[in-house]
Structure 1
Amino acid sequence: MDVHRLGLLLDLSRLGSMREVADTRGLSTSAVSQQLATLAREAGTALVEPVGRRVRLTPAGRRLAEHAVTILAAVEAARLDLDPDAAPVGTVRVGGFATGVRRTLLPAMAALAEAHPGVEVVVHEYEPLETVALLEADDLDLGLSYDYGLAPVSWPATLRAVPLWRTPWGLGVPATELERHPAADARDLARWADRAWVVNSRNTADADVVRALGAMAGFTPRLAHSIDSLDLVEDLVVAQDCVALLPLDRPTGPGVRVLPLAEDAAVLQAWAVTRRGRDAWPPLRVLLEALRATSADAAA
């Protein structure tokens, strides 16, 4: 049923005459009558019956007018929800990697709660491959993902990725190694060729970067351990005397040191990823704006 015609029926139930509906809507009485006749055909039952020179709603017409209140209110709510100029209201489903959530999403959520209290953000932790799959399945509205200069992501055509921030990663080594060899340097990566490496358990980019770094240094890294949590990566570096890529700007435990690589060889790029065309939706738009602001603050 056409919602415009439902509106005319609702007006008739409230105003009581075709003439008053016509005057209110700026239409002719015959136009109102024709629209209501079409609505009756759509509904499959008579909605209006004559009473002298006037008309009144049939029992079916009254019931449909009652439904029209709810239907028209829902249509208006949907219009406001989707209107780019409307106040943002709704729930945004976000999935992303832990560092991205901690570094930019949590501050953005705090700012959003104050500026746009009608927007709710629900968060799930995922690694980049998981995030991309969920975005393509339309099970997320926003993904926080990352890649490296040595292992860039080829984004699916259905997705749009906006850069947020960059940070260099270095080589995490046991602190005892530097106590024994104070001059140890990760710029000569071949020095660590005999060590076992720890890589990410749920994202192939980390292993791809380690292999690329090893190839440039003339050796094939031995990828022995697959760990997701950076804290657990540190524990394994200490316990097993192995090495791993870790962020240079992240504080580590006392048993681990992070050494710079040659010319920032491993740089992580964080991305905000959405389905194409979705970023105009008001709740998602204001969250993206808040993410860009917090990313700029983090980089300052």
Structure 2
Amino acid sequence: METRRLRMLVELSRLGSMRAVADMLGTTTSTVSQQIAALADDMGTALIEPHGRRVRLTPAGRRLAEHGVTILAAVEAARHDLAPGSEPNGTLRVAGFATAIRTHLLPVITTLSGSHPRLHVLVREHEPAEALQLLADDMADLALTYDYNLAPATEDPAVRATALWTARWGLGVPVEADVREGTTLEVFAQCAGHDWIVNSRNTADETVIRTLASMAGFTPRITHQADSLDLVQGMITAGLGVGLLPLGTVTFPAVRLLPLDTPDVELRAYAVARHGRLDWPPLALVTELLLQRSARERRRTSLAP
């Protein structure tokens, strides 16, 4: 069984069309079709069948694609096992959200510049869905992502997510707003008449807001979107609405940050990598350094008065 053919089948199961597979692999639709047909001959069973103007995987094709994820990961792991030398070197491509890069990854990179000068980290700022897509397309080696306890991410068997840290979030409101502290649902109910500001490149916080608003008995009027937390505060200052902000944030003078308790709103950060690459020395080292930094931050926070 040629792993190149198997990868085409796995990508077809993920992308849904031969054209998409061809575009991703830099080949032609005809080549993809021929290689999957050859794989079917190798296996002695049909792997695809017509579906309208396209094709879809047969039950056998779906099952082989499931095996293919594990097989390709094992092949990749074997390559890394045979790699000469043990000291991490080369280029590690990291895609992640701004807070993770600024507060956790950049200090790690500073440390690496002295301890491992032959290891270079290439940084790209992306929201979770974008970072995970880069990981799937092999355009990133490590994705720094997040979800919320009230909006958990969908599990993907092709990757492993390592939990890094958690952060409590609150609700930012204008200073002059008549909103008193209370439980999360009480705070939300008092803001039912306000416009709401959500992230422009990720839907997780909107899911959290809609979930809590529904529990509080209203439908939120979501009108504005902003990726930058500073811009969210600027919008709140301008009277454009209210929005989620991490507790501990240094707020603008015109912004008041209310804690959200019962239920809590908690962001959860992860380091995500594809199976088969977890033992690659640069990836393993950076992941471990991120874990160590997260642990130090947790201890520091727990000891703070």
Q: Same fold (TM over 0.5)?
A: yes
Contact 1:145–1:273 (CA under 8 A) maintained in structure 2: yes
Question: What is the letter of the counterpart of residue 230 of structure 1?
Answer: L
Equivalence for 1:281: 280
Contact 1:167–1:249 (CA under 8 A) maintained in structure 2: no
Q: Tell me the TM-score normalized by structure 2.
A: 0.68
Equivalence for 1:127: 127
Equivalence for 1:87: 87
| 1:204 Cα offset (Å) | 0.9
Residues 83-105 of structure 1 deviation map (CA, whole Å, 9 limit, x = unaligned): 5x611111000010001111211
Equivalence for 2:67: none
Equivalence for 2:209: 210
Q: Which piece of structure 1 moves more, 98-107 or 255-264?
A: 255-264
Runs (5+) with no aligned partner, structure 1? 1-77
Contact 1:93–1:122 (CA under 8 A) maintained in structure 2: yes
| 1:106 Cα offset (Å) | 1.0
Residues 156-213 of structure 1 deviation map (CA, whole Å, 9 limit, x = unaligned): 2211100000001000001122xxx474546312011010000000001111010011
Query: Structure 1 residues 267, 94: CA separation in 2 closer, same or farther (over 3 Å shift)?
Result: same
Equivalence for 2:171: 171
Runs (5+) with no aligned partner, structure 2? 1-78, 300-305
Contact 2:161–2:272 (CA under 8 A) maintained in structure 1: yes
Contact 1:162–1:272 (CA under 8 A) maintained in structure 2: yes
| 1:249 Cα offset (Å) | 1.8
Equivalence for 1:197: 196
Alignment of 1:1-300 (within 5 A): 82-83=83-84, 86-177=86-177, 181=178, 183=180, 185=182, 187=184, 188=186, 189-263=188-262, 265-300=264-299
Taking every aligned residue pair, what percent have the same amino acid on both sides?
46
CA distance in 2, matches of 1:129, 1:89: 28
CA distance in 2, matches of 1:79, 1:270: 27
| Larger Rg, first or second structure (1 or 2) | 1
Q: Tell me the TM-score normalized by structure 1.
A: 0.69
